């Protein structure tokens, strides 16, 4: 009887959500396994969970029309096909698929979709992009909110979230959750200070600065017995609650958790739409997956840059505009127009996606000191990999990074098109065939600001959760 009453209550909350009334629905999480290799991919249901926190989403904006992400999921009324809710996202699986390992073996990754608990049965569809970047359905599953095997009870919260910034009810604010990993119980104060310091820096950066009132920020950590996270390439292994570690896909600086279940089971105790995991290490590293989470080494001298750059990937699906650092991904020779808002293949300059921001008379492509930049980068990248291979102290790496940033800042300042929006060749991990919109951007170098095109792309996502 009690469960029946709860059902009716949940259904009526969900109903008011769907018709756009600002009242909290429950949050339904669909956990699934995404497996395969370079050639095939499979989706399989793991479990359905009703999270302990109410739905934090914006009832005024159920449909995501921003065209971001390698994937899109849609919640559909099976009777008439009406799309009730949708969100773009990307996956760790899709990144792994482009590595050499995916040519040789199959692997499985846990992933989650979160949606407001519907009042009646719905169909959840996952869409994926084809080679021309158009979406088509790759998985479809019917979800009955009254099904008895939905998990409706969670265990006690392992820790309580702290509100670092609170500007209003979650459904009209972007809820950013900062999770700590690799902090001991004695380091809880350090975690809170790191979360405040780095989020303050984010909100000092355009366009987050101008839109700071549209955010709530929460901090939550589960203590670990030892300080720091695993860094297998140096033989450092640690248990941590979220499972964040370095050396993802064989890249020393790439840090993610592949333990989605552990991550979601902790995150669910705070209101959240976006998550940045701060890990308690000094070694440079981080990562970011659109719609999943981003990570940053809180103890690195470059933590502010890492936090903001990786958050750009996670929050707005921004592409990397840099192209001289080694990455794990293999790319083909074809150059289809990328779906990411901040890079282009420039197949037709008259249809450039940010053409409206280009001043008349700006040449496309736009000249910049590319040869000089690349000459310096070749020597710098060599030195960087030598320092890591020799396991030199982080202070030597930091000094190298400072020299590199100073060189790049000086080289790209006071040139004819330094402040112009155009199409500068070199982006998206490729020296040729892909272009970025400005010479400098935090997605390109360790500068302190986003280019105008990235800032606009970020604002569109802020709107989706707050307006």
Give me the residues that bind Zn ion (CB under 5 A), please. 342, 441, 443, 451, 454
CB of 88 to Zn ion, least distance (A): 18
Strand partners, 456: none
In terms of CB distance, is 206 or 398 closer to Zn ion?
Answer: 206
Q: Is the distance from CB of 27 to CB of 50 less than 8 angstroms?
A: yes
Phi-psi region of 391 (alpha: psi -120 to 50; beta: other; left: phi over 0): left
* 2, burial (CB in 10 Å: exposed 0-12, middle 13-18, buried 19+): exposed
CB of 319 to Zn ion, least distance (A): 9
Residues with Cβ < 8 Å from 133, sequence gap 6 or more? 336, 337, 338, 339
Residues of the chain by 3-state class (helix, strand, coil), percent to 5: 30, 25, 45
In terms of CB distance, is 224 or 342 closer to Zn ion?
Answer: 342
CB of 424 to Zn ion, least distance (A): 10
In terms of CB distance, is 43 or 417 closer to Zn ion?
Answer: 417
Rounded to 10 degrees, what is the CA torsion of 449, 433, 344, 291?
-70
In terms of CB distance, is 283 or 437 closer to Zn ion?
Answer: 437
Tell me the three-class secondary structure of 337-362, residue by residue: CCCCCCEECCCCHHHCCCHHHCCCCC
Q: How far apart are CA 157 and CA 220, in angstroms?
A: 11
In terms of CB distance, is 234 or 418 closer to Zn ion?
Answer: 418
In terms of CB distance, is 25 or 358 closer to Zn ion?
Answer: 358
Residues with Cβ < 8 Å from 132, sequence gap 6 or more? 336
Q: Using CA of residue 354, residue 360, residue 366, residue 369, what is the dihedral sign? A: negative
Q: How many CA atoms lie within 13 A of 176 on its CB side?
A: 33
In terms of CB distance, is 121 or 207 closer to Zn ion?
Answer: 207
CB of 443 to Zn ion, least distance (A): 4
Q: Is the distance from CB of 381 to CB of 325 less than 8 angstroms?
A: yes
CB of 74 to Zn ion, least distance (A): 29
Cite the DSSP H helix spans in 279-369. 303-316
CB of 453 to Zn ion, least distance (A): 6
In terms of CB distance, is 241 or 443 closer to Zn ion?
Answer: 443
Q: How far apart are CA 449 and CA 207, in angstroms?
A: 9
Q: How far apart are the first and last CA of the chain?
A: 39
In terms of CB distance, is 52 or 365 closer to Zn ion?
Answer: 365
CB of 342 to Zn ion, least distance (A): 5
In terms of CB distance, is 270 or 441 closer to Zn ion?
Answer: 441
CB of 427 to Zn ion, least distance (A): 9
Q: Nearest-5° angle of CA 27, CA 168, CA 274?
A: 50
CB of 434 to Zn ion, least distance (A): 13
Helix (H) or strand (E) holding 463: helix 452-466
CB of 428 to Zn ion, least distance (A): 11
């Amino acid at each position: 009887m009690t469960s029946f009453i709860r059902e009716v209550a949940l259904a009526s909350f969900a109903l008011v959500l769907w018709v756009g009334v600002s009242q909290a629905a429950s949050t339904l999480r669909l956990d699934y396994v995404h497996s395969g290799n370079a050639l095939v991919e499979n989706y399989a249901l793991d479990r359905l969970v009703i999270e302990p926190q109410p739905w934090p989403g914006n009832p005024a904006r159920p449909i995501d029309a921003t065209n971001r992400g390698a994937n899109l999921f849609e919640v559909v009324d099976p009777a008439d096909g009406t799309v009730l809710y949708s969100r773009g996202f990307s996956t760790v699986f899709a990144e792994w698929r482009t590595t050499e390992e995916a040519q040789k073996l199959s692997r499985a990754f846990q992933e989650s979709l979160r949606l407001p608990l519907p009042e009646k049965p719905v169909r959840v569809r996952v869409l994926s992009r084809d080679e021309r970047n158009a979406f088509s359905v790759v998985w479809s599953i019917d979800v009955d909110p009254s099904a008895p095997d939905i998990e409706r009870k969670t265990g006690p919260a392992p820790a309580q979230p702290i509100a670092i910034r609170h500007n209003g009810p979650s459904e009209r604010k972007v809820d950013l959750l900062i999770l700590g990993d690799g902090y001991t119980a004695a380091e809880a104060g350090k975690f809170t200070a790191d979360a405040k310091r780095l989020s303050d820096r984010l909100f000092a950066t355009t366009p987050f600065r101008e839109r700071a009132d549209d955010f709530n920020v929460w901090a939550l950590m589960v203590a670990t017995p030892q300080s720091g996270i695993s860094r297998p390439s140096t033989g450092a292994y640690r248990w941590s609650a979220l499972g964040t570690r370095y050396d993802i896909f064989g890249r020393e600086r790439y840090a993610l958790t592949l333990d989605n279940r552990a991550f979601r089971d902790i995150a669910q105790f705070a209101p959240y739409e976006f998550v940045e995991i701060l890990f308690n290490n000094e070694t440079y590293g981080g990562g970011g997956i659109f719609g999943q989470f981003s990570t940053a080494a809180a103890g690195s001298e470059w933590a502010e840059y890492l936090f903001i750059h990786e958050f750009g990937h996670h929050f707005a699906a921004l592409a990397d505009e840099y192209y001289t650092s080694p990455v794990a991904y293999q790319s083909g020779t074809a150059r289809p127009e990328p779906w990411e808002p901040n890079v282009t293949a420039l197949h037709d300059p008259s249809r450039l996606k940010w053409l409206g921001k280009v001043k008349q008379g700006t040449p496309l492509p736009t000249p910049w000191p590319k040869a000089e930049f690349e000459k310096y980068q070749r020597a710098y990248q060599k030195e960087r990999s030598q320092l890591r291979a020799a396991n030199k102290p982080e202070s030597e790496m930091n000094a190298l990074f400072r020299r590199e940033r100073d060189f790049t800042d000086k080289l790209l300042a006071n040139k004819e098109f330094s402040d112009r929006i155009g199409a500068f060749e070199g982006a998206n991990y490729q020296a040729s065939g892909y272009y970025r919109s400005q010479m400098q951007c935090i997605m390109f170098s360790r500068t302190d600001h986003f280019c105008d095109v990235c800032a606009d792309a970020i604002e569109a996502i802020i709107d989706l959760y707050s307006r």
